[in-house]
């Protein structure tokens, strides 16, 4: 091993430490019996910040810290997130697929314009999409709420499936489609039997990406939400508590980190290997 | 299954960028015929196939299938089935589903579909493979699935676009016989596109040789090989030596027109294929197997004889390619390794020999384009 | 169009076409146009119709109060002066629509000068009841001059009854004119660029001489002086405050992008070209995990570190540098640099993956070949690896830049929105704090266009194409 690659290894190690330290601290604070969350002031191990999410009313009422939290509101916001995602995901898959097909198949001089148009929501700052949706629907008499959140999120989330689907669509030999036509299949059957099954892996990963993007979205949602809330905005407002918020957020964060880690491992070692 | 005839009347195809892929072509293909279109890549043969299958609208002219015009009829409604160069098997369907797809598209019941697919898989000797995915099959097996899939819709015309080009040599030769026998069994009209003259010559009832969007010659394999009517056909099909010169006389030898060309090597005589006249510039083609080598330097004949020095000998198996240097030009001769008595009969390098050929074996055609043969010299 | 129809048939093509139309029209272009419209309309409270209808309600309120005072005076004059304070109830007055009717007049002197019928206290609504109210905008016109109204005002010097009469007249005049003004406003083109001009407005910044001297030497302010965003005139500092925030935001975003590129290029290189497959897979997991974790969690992870009683301050306390119990701490969350660093942390992974994805398509033999031909590693990067990875670098830079410039969650959570030196915060405040969505829209549009122009220039410079986004 030569000098430069040794240096590179050390640098990578530092980078990973920088990357993971905040998250490890977050996880450590999630099991510390100290509110607001702290790692410096160790008060003993506890799992109560986790139990907040499932413990009975009585248990929560008996705890000084947990008592002050509004679990029902949290659950309501979480349910809102799921509602929004359950509409945004299929909507963005459909729009993304339409976009991917158009950009792949349409061969006109307007193509580069279409590229800009359909990718601009992904590039544009999230808040812009939120506030423009807000104003647009206000003019139609629709008040800000879950509906505007869905519209605003769909605007930019559709671009992700579009890119993923397009990458796969371009790998499909166009002869497949011609072969189906030649054997007497109409365009709809060909799409249903040949193109759609071919796109399935791309659709599956698009759905995951779209779901995550929808649930975690904060910037766009903050502008479009009106009086409603989602998981992300709720966490956002908890986190902004100037006196520090009880570590239930750390507990949730720890859960997300572990879940994501597992997902990343599965993706890397199973899915990618199959892909090669 | 019965084949149907195909007529191309004045078909031409011009692409939006102005490239004329096919130029005013007429073609009649008989019902139940194995018809090949042979030509180098870019000659327009695939374009013709696309117009017949309906993926491409000709710019002028019309196509008749069984005497009926098919203009404006979509590919999925034409009685044709296409076998693609890359086969285009549906990767996510099993073998039998692939074969049955055409029936599925016609709304045939699943049990009937499966039965029919099994029958066809039998025909192409793939029984037992029906539940595999195409990716699990070998190249030749994939090939046969593609044929079965195309035959499942009971087409009157099967269009094959260089389907063997992806296979290795041995398998390719084997598939030739298979395709030919399937064609015989089903008596479907086959239109076979290829740039490989071996495939065209071995399988076809008739062959059309195409160059630059035009058909140069149509005929049986023998006619194409032995009686080329243009310089392109003569140079594209099989190997040949050619010489350019001016015709100095045209004579009639028992009803056969023989032209004599004046060339620095001497007078070269061959069959006049294009009714050329005295004074015309012409090319004379002599196939390597028609050149005879003799050692004894007899007195030089008047014509069809020249002296060459053997520069190289490449063994091909049953025969050898001999490369002679004749006044600076390289001439290739096929020479049997053994003489009639079975004695090794090999000329020596750097020795001079006399080369002769019979006028009846040489072909004189008007000057024109030559195919780039890629022959090693 | 033809190839689309060939592949998908008329029905599916139409469905696809309609979907694209819905997405492009209803979700992308439509909302942007409505923002543009919003930005080109003056805020409602600056409209003449708003002013005149306010005048009507002010005049009404004025009448109401005057009536009460007259009643009160009558009572006082008829009854014996008891010295008791008259305290009229204003309970039923609060229905008046003026948002500024909180001024409760003091009636202390009413009873003292009860004989003088013409005396009344200061009543803000009566003061505002005048037809020569100035209009907004740069013209010096008044309501009366623009709409040819007689100049009327409630004159304190006249008797209360006369004042009441005038107020009545004004109210009636205003009410009859409202429809006319609204009609005129509707008829004339109300679109203008006033809101955009607001962006470039110079505001005087009051500061003492010492502060001014201290501020003047700052590099940032000198830079602003050069850009003509800030200048000093007769001892007063004038500055385009909004533009300052915008420029700061963009500069920070560019800096964050650049820093991310420098930090992440070696990591992408290590992962793509310098690791064995197994190592590469684990590195991939190590980077994919934080990349996929919700953005909020990545930000939140920093909160407990940077908090006033967070980890760093606790450590500083522990080593005796500060004393938290004595309210001594370093307020990291107030520093723009903190927001900047967390932005880099949060978005730098958007640089790693695009570069990695493109770089890993490079044939390693090319590197070996170049090395074999005697090129130094630096040269290999310059001539082989970087040119190959350029699309990935371009996409990574664009993504990181747009995310950093448009960062909203980071400043909002880290600095709790107090430190509004990030332009997104300014826009948010305009929308939800000062309720001026017209101005906010103008800011938003200007901001978006600025960002897209920068991205466009960058793409032109890098010769990148939008299609590159598909490769990453």
Report the CATH fold assignment for C244-471.
MetI-like fold (1.10.3720)
- Structurally, how many domains does chain A consist of? 2
Domain co-membership, B244 together with B210:
no
Nearest to C316 by CA among C306, C329, C327: C329
Chain B residues with CB under 8 Å of A194 CB are 90
Collapse the DSSP code of C320 into the 3-class scheme (helix H, G, I; strand E, B; otherwise coil) and give the result: coil
Q: Do A112 and C428 touch (CB under 8 A)?
A: no
Please, how many CA atoms are within 13 Å of residue C31, restricted to the half-sphere of its CB?
Answer: 27
Residue in this structure with the two tokens 């409604």, named with its chain if needed: B77
- Structurally, how many domains does chain B consist of? 2
Domain co-membership, B243 together with B344:
yes
Domain co-membership, A10 together with A133:
no
**What is d(CA B359, CA A119) in angstroms, rounded to the nearest whole number?**
73
Domain co-membership, A109 together with A225:
yes
User: CA distances (Å), A174 to each of A104, B44, B94, C23, C368, in order?
Assistant: 11, 20, 20, 26, 37
The number of residues in chain A equals 276
pTM over 0.90: no
Mean pLDDT of chain B: 87
- Residue A27 belongs to a domain: yes
CATH code where residue A259 lies? 1.10.3720.10
Collapse the DSSP code of C112 into the 3-class scheme (helix H, G, I; strand E, B; otherwise coil) and give the result: helix
Q: DSSP string spanning B115-140?
A: HHHHHHHHHTT-TT-TTS-GGGS-HH
Helices A111-123 and C386-405: angle between axes, nearest 10 degrees: 60
By the 8 A CB rule, do C229 and C238 touch? no
Q: Do B76 and A176 touch (CB under 8 A)?
A: no
The torsion defined by the Cα of A73, A79, A81 and A84, in degrees rounded to 10, comes to -130
**What is d(CA C97, CA C58) in angstroms, rounded to the nearest whole number?**
8
- Residue A65 belongs to a domain: no
Strand order in the sheet with B305-315: B292-294, B352-356, B305-315, B319-326, B329-336
**What is d(CA A234, CA A236) in angstroms, rounded to the nearest whole number?**
5
Residue in this structure with the two tokens 């792949």, named with its chain if needed: A104
Is residue B107's pLDDT more than 60? yes
Residue where one domain finishes, among candidates A18, A34, A59: A59
pLDDT (tens digit per residue) in B71-104: 888 888 888 888 988 888 998 899 999 999 988 8
Domain co-membership, B44 together with B78:
yes
Please give the ipTM for the structure prediction: 0.90
Measure CA A145 to chain center: 19
Domain co-membership, A124 together with A245:
yes
Contacts of B17 (CB under 8 A, 6+ apart): none
By the 8 A CB rule, do C264 and C352 touch? yes
CATH code where residue B331 lies? 2.40.50.100
Residue where one domain finishes, among candidates A59, A81, A101: A59
- Residue A229 belongs to a domain: yes
**What is d(CA B158, CA B183) in angstroms, rounded to the nearest whole number?**
9
Measure CA A30 to chain center: 23
Domain co-membership, B249 together with B279:
yes
Nearest to C88 by CA among C113, C63, C107, C112: C107
- Residue A231 belongs to a domain: yes
Collapse the DSSP code of C79 into the 3-class scheme (helix H, G, I; strand E, B; otherwise coil) and give the result: coil
By the 8 A CB rule, do C161 and C139 touch? no
For residue B156 the two structure tokens come to 């009157």
* Mean pLDDT computed over A58-75: 83
Q: Do C3 and A139 touch (CB under 8 A)?
A: no
Is residue B260's pLDDT more than 50? yes
Residues from A contacting B (CB-CB < 8 Å) are 173, 175-176, 178-186, 189, 193-194, 197-198
Please report the pLDDT score of residue B319 as a whole number: 86
Please report the pLDDT score of residue A163 as a whole number: 92
In angstroms, how far is the first alpha carbon of chain A from the final one?
29
Chain C: partners with 3+ C-beta pairs within 8 Å: A
Domain co-membership, B215 together with B318:
no
Nearest to C200 by CA among C443, C441, C454: C443
Collapse the DSSP code of C459 into the 3-class scheme (helix H, G, I; strand E, B; otherwise coil) and give the result: helix
Largest CA-CA distance found in chain C, in angstroms, rounded: 116
Please report the pLDDT score of residue C400 as a whole number: 94
Size of interface A-C (CB pairs under 8 A): 262
**Does A88 lie at the interface with C, CB-CB under 8 angstroms?**
no
Please tell me the distance in Å from A71's CA to the nearest CA on chain B.
Answer: 47
- Residue A201 belongs to a domain: yes
Pair type for strands B241-253 and B80-83: unpaired
Chain C residues with CB under 8 Å of A13 CB are none
Strand order in the sheet with B60-65: B20-29, B6-14, B60-65, B68-69
pLDDT (tens digit per residue) in B206-229: 999 998 888 999 999 999 999 999
Q: Do A198 and B106 touch (CB under 8 A)?
A: no
Domain co-membership, B177 together with B212:
yes
**What is d(CA B121, CA B130) in angstroms, rounded to the nearest whole number?**
8
Contacts of B36 (CB under 8 A, 6+ apart): B191, B192, B193, B194, B199, B200, B203, B204, B206, B207, B208
For residue B197 the two structure tokens come to 């003259």
**What is d(CA B162, CA B145) in angstroms, rounded to the nearest whole number?**
15
Q: Do B76 and A186 touch (CB under 8 A)?
A: yes
**Full domain range(s) for residue B298:** 238-364
**What is d(CA A211, CA A154) in angstroms, rounded to the nearest whole number?**
11
pLDDT (tens digit per residue) in A85-105: 999 999 999 999 999 999 988
Please tell me the distance in Å from A142's CA to the nearest CA on chain C.
Answer: 13
Nearest to C173 by CA among C276, C59, C68: C59
**What is d(CA B274, CA C450) in angstroms, rounded to the nearest whole number?**
74
Centre a 10 Å sphere on the Cβ of residue C328 and count the other Cβ atoms it contains.
13
Contacts of B306 (CB under 8 A, 6+ apart): B265, B266, B326, B327, B354, B355
**Full domain range(s) for residue A198:** 71-275
- Residue B229 belongs to a domain: no
Please tell me the distance in Å from B303's CA to the nearest CA on chain A.
Answer: 56
Domain co-membership, A158 together with A131:
yes
DSSP state of C66: H
- Residue A66 belongs to a domain: no
The number of residues in chain B equals 377
At B38, which helix (H) or strand (E)? strand B34-38
Kindly report, as residue ranges, where domains of CATH 1.10.3720.10 are found in chain C: 244-471
Per-residue pLDDT of chain C in tens (472 residues, 90 and over written 9)? 677 887 888 889 999 999 999 999 999 999 999 999 888 887 877 777 888 888 888 888 888 888 888 888 888 777 644 444 444 444 444 334 344 444 444 444 444 444 455 667 788 888 888 888 877 766 677 877 777 788 888 877 788 888 888 888 888 888 888 888 888 777 776 788 888 888 888 888 888 888 888 888 888 888 888 888 888 888 788 888 888 889 989 999 999 999 999 999 999 999 988 888 888 888 989 998 988 888 889 998 888 888 877 788 888 888 878 877 777 778 887 787 888 999 999 999 999 999 999 998 898 888 888 888 888 888 889 888 999 999 999 999 999 999 999 999 888 888 876 665 789 988 988 888 888 888 899 999 999 999 999 999 999 998 888 888 876 6
Nearest to B198 by CA among B159, B165, B240: B165
Three-state helix/strand/coil letters over chain A: CCHHHHHHHHHHHHHHHHHHHHHHHHHHHCCECCCCCCCCCCCCECCHHHHCCCCCHHHHHHCCCHHHCCHHHHHHHHHHHHHHHHHHHHHHHHHHHHHHHHHHHCCCCCHHHHHHHHHHHHHCCHHHHHHHHHHHHHHCCCCCCHHHHHHHHHHHHCHHHHHHHHHHHCCCCHHHHHHHHHCCCCHHHHHHHHHHHHHHHHHHHHHHHHHHHHHHCCHHHHHHCCCCCCHHHHHHHHHCCCCCCCCHHHHHHHHHHHHHHHHHHHHHHHHHHHHC
Nearest to A182 by CA among B153, B376, C1: B153
Domain co-membership, B247 together with B147:
no
Residue in this structure with the two tokens 């203009």, named with its chain if needed: B71
Domain co-membership, A44 together with A105:
no
For residue B256 the two structure tokens come to 């056969």
Please report the pLDDT score of residue C115 as a whole number: 46
Domain co-membership, B161 together with B283:
no
Residue where one domain finishes, among candidates B202, B224, B246: B224
**Does B73 lie at the interface with A, CB-CB under 8 angstroms?**
no
**Does C284 lie at the interface with A, CB-CB under 8 angstroms?**
yes
- Residue B259 belongs to a domain: yes
- Residue A137 belongs to a domain: yes
In angstroms, how far is the first alpha carbon of chain C from the final one?
28
Domain co-membership, B17 together with B86:
yes
The number of residues in chain C equals 472
Domain co-membership, B84 together with B206:
yes
For residue C90 the two structure tokens come to 């204003």
DSSP E strands in C39-122: the ranges are none
> Which positions 249-268 of A are in contact with C (Cβ < 8 Å)?
249-250, 253, 256-257, 260-261, 263-265, 267-268
* Mean pLDDT computed over B197-208: 91
By the 8 A CB rule, do C82 and C190 touch? no
**What is d(CA C355, CA C265) in angstroms, rounded to the nearest whole number?**
7
Nearest to C265 by CA among C152, C400, C405, C78: C400
Our CA angle for A135, A140, A144, nearest 5°, is 50
**What is d(CA B211, CA B239) in angstroms, rounded to the nearest whole number?**
17
Residue where one domain finishes, among candidates B224, B258, B283: B224
- Residue B45 belongs to a domain: yes
Q: Which of B166-175, B262-271, C322-331 has the lowest mean pLDDT?
A: C322-331
By the 8 A CB rule, do B243 and B336 touch? no
Chain C residues with CB under 8 Å of A37 CB are 304
Chain A residues with CB under 8 Å of B105 CB are 180, 183-186, 189
**What is d(CA B82, CA B53) in angstroms, rounded to the nearest whole number?**
7
Q: Do A19 and C287 touch (CB under 8 A)?
A: yes
**What is d(CA A12, CA C378) in angstroms, rounded to the nearest whole number?**
18
Domain co-membership, A53 together with A90:
no
Q: Do C304 and A232 touch (CB under 8 A)?
A: no
For residue A58 the two structure tokens come to 């009585």
At C288, which helix (H) or strand (E)? helix C277-292
pLDDT (tens digit per residue) in A139-177: 888 888 899 999 999 999 999 999 999 999 988 888 888
Please tell me the distance in Å from C371's CA to the nearest CA on chain A.
Answer: 14
For residue C384 the two structure tokens come to 């082989």
């Amino acid at each position: 091993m030569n000098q430069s690659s040794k240096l590179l290894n050390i640098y990578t190690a530092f980078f990973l430490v920088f990357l993971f330290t905040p998250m490890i601290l977050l996880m450590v604070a999630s099991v510390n019996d100290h509110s607001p969350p702290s790692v410096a002031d160790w008060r003993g191990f506890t799992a109560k910040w986790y139990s907040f999410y499932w413990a009975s009313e009585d248990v929560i009422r008996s705890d000084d810290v947990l008592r002050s939290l509004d679990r029902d509101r949290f659950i309501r916001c979480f349910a809102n997130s799921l509602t929004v995602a359950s509409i945004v995901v299929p909507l963005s898959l459909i729009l993304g697929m339409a976009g991917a097909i158009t950009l792949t198949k349409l061969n006109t001089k307007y193509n580069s314009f279409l590229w800009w148009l359909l990718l601009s929501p992904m590039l544009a700052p999230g808040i812009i999409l939120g506030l423009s949706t807000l104003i647009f629907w206000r003019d139609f008499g629709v008040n800000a709420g879950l509906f505007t959140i869905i519209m605003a999120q769909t605007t930019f989330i559709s671009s992700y499936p579009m890119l993923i689907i397009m990458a796969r669509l371009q790998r499909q030999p166009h002869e497949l489609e011609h072969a189906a036509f030649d054997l007497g299949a109409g365009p709809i059957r060909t799409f249903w039997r040949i193109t759609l099954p071919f796109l399935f892996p791309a659709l599956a990963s698009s759905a995951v990406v779209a779901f995550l993007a929808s649930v975690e979205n904060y910037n766009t949602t903050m502008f479009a939400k009106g009086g409603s809330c989602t998981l992300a905005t709720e966490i956002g407002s908890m986190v902004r508590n100037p006196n520090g918020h009880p570590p239930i957020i750390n507990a949730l964060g720890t859960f997300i980190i572990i879940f994501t880690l597992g997902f990343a491992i599965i993706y890397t070692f199973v899915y990618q290997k199959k892909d090669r | 299954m019965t084949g149907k005839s195909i007529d191309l009347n004045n078909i031409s195809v011009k692409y939006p960028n102005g490239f004329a892929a096919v130029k005013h072509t007429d073609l009649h293909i008989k019902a139940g015929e194995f018809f090949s279109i042979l030509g180098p890549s870019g000659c327009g043969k695939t374009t013709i196939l696309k117009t017949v299958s309906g993926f491409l609208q000709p710019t002028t002219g019309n196509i008749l299938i069984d005497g009926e015009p098919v203009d404006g009829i979509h590919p999925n409604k034409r009685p044709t089935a296409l076998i693609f160069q890359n086969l285009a098997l549906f990767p996510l369907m099993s073998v039998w589903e692939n074969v049955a797809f055409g029936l599925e598209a016609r709304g045939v019941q699943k049990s009937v579909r499966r039965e029919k697919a099994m029958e066809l898989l039998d025909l192409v000797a793939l029984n037992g493979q029906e539940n595999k995915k195409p990716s699990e099959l070998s190249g030749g097996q994939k090939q046969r699935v593609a044929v079965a899939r195309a035959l499942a819709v009971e087409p009157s015309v099967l269009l094959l676009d260089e389907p063997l080009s992806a296979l290795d040599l041995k398998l390719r030769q084997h598939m030739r016989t298979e395709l030919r026998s399937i064609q015989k069994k089903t008596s479907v009209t086959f239109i076979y596109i290829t740039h490989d003259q071996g495939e065209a010559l071995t399988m076809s009832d008739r062959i059309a040789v195409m160059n630059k969007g035009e058909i140069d010659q149509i005929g049986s394999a023998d006619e194409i090989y032995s009686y080329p009517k243009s310089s392109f056909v003569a140079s594209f099909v099989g190997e040949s030596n050619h010489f350019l010169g001016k015709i100095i006389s045209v004579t009639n030898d028992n009803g056969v027109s023989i032209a004599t060309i004046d060339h620095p090597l001497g007078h070269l005589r061959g069959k006049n294929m294009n009714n050329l006249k005295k004074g015309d510039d012409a090319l004379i083609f002599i196939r390597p197997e028609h050149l005879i080598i003799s050692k004894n330097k007899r007195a030089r004949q008047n014509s069809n004889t020249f002296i060459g020095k053997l520069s190289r000998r490449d063994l091909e198996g049953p025969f050898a390619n001999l490369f002679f240097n004749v006044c600076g030009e390289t001439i290739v001769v096929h020479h049997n390794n053994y003489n009639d008595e079975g004695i090794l009969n090999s000329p020596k390098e750097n020795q001079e020999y006399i080369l002769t050929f019979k006028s009846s074996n040489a072909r004189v055609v008007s000057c024109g384009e030559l195919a780039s043969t890629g022959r090693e010299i | 169009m033809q190839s689309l129809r060939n592949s998908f048939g008329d029905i599916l093509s139409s469905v696809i076409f309609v979907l694209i139309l819905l997405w492009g029209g209803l979700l992308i272009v439509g909302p942007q146009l409505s923002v543009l419209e919003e930005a080109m309309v003056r805020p409602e409270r600056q409209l003449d119709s708003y002013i005149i209808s306010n005048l009507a309600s002010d005049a009404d309120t004025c009448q109401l109060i005057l009536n009460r005072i007259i009643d009160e005076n009558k009572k006082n004059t008829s009854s014996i002066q008891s010295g008791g304070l008259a305290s009229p109830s204003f309970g039923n007055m609060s229905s008046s629509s003026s948002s500024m009717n909180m001024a409760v007049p003091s009636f202390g002197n009413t009873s003292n000068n009860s004989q003088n019928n013409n005396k009344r206290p200061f009543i803000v609504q009566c003061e505002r009841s005048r037809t020569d109210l100035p209009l907004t905008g740069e013209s010096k016109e008044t309501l009366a001059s623009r709409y040819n109204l007689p100049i009327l005002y409630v004159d304190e010097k006249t008797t209360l009854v006369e004042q009441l009469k005038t107020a009545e007249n004004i109210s009636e005049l205003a009410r009859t004119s409202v429809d006319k003004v609204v009609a005129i406003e509707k008829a004339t083109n109300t679109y203008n660029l006033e809101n955009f001009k607001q962006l470039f407005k110079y505001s005087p910044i009051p500061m003492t001489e010492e502060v001014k001297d201290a501020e003047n030497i700052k590099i940032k302010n000198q830079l602003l002086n050069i850009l003509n965003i800030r200048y000093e005139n007769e001892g007063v500092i004038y500055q385009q405050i909004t533009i300052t925030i915008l420029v700061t935001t963009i500069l920070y975003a560019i800096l964050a992008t650049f820093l991310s590129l420098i930090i992440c290029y070696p990591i992408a290189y290590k992962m793509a070209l310098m690791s064995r497959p197994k190592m590469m897979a684990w590195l991939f997991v190590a980077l994919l995990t934080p990349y996929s974790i919700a953005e909020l969690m990545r930000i939140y992870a920093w909160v407990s570190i940077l908090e006033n009683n967070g980890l760093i301050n606790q450590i500083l306390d522990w080593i005796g540098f500060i004393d938290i119990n004595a309210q001594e701490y370093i307020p990291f969350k107030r520093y723009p640099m903190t927001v900047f660093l967390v932005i880099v942390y949060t978005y730098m992974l958007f640089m790693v993956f695009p570069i990695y994805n493109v770089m890993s398509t490079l044939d390693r033999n090319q590197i070996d070949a170049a090395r074999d031909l005697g090129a130094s590693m630096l040269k290999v990067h310059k001539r082989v690896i970087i040119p190959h990875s350029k699309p990935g670098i371009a996409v990574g830079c664009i993504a990181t830049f747009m995310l950093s410039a448009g960062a909203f969650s980071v400043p909002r959570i880290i600095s709790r929105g107090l430190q509004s030196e990030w332009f997104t915060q300014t826009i948010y405040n305009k929308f939800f704090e000062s309720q001026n969505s017209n101005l906010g829209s103008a800011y938003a549009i200007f901001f978006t266009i600025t960002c897209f122009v920068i991205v466009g220039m960058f793409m032109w410079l890098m010769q990148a194409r939008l299609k590159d986004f598909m490769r990453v």
